[in-house]
Structure 1
């Protein structure tokens, strides 16, 4: 079964806020406006670029999206 990027990123949460993946996942989990059902790269990327300040680099998102697509086939 395919899952949304949001559901994938929730599996990356942790307590180490110095880890950029865990910190990003924690912020996403608290973002009530995040496109929770989306499986579309551009929809999520546009949302992050236009509506958030918790992602320092879109390179991190690109790496996570790649892992998401590998795990969501």
Structure 2
């Protein structure tokens, strides 16, 4: 995948647990874990908005473009 989700990094920087963040933004821990472990295929803009608000960050802090070397 060419877009890397740095949710785990931001959670560590903000010292917030998966369950606390899940409760704060209203997403299930299972779905948040999928994003955290980079297993997701898509992210809703409303979810990205809620994550940015809860983690006090910008979308670019959570999403990173990484060149796909297999192409």
TM-score range, shorter chain: 0.3 to 0.5
Q: TM-score normalised to the size of structure 1?
A: 0.37
Pick the structure with greater CA Rg.
Answer: 2
Higher RCO by CA contacts (8 Å cutoff, separation 6 or greater): 2
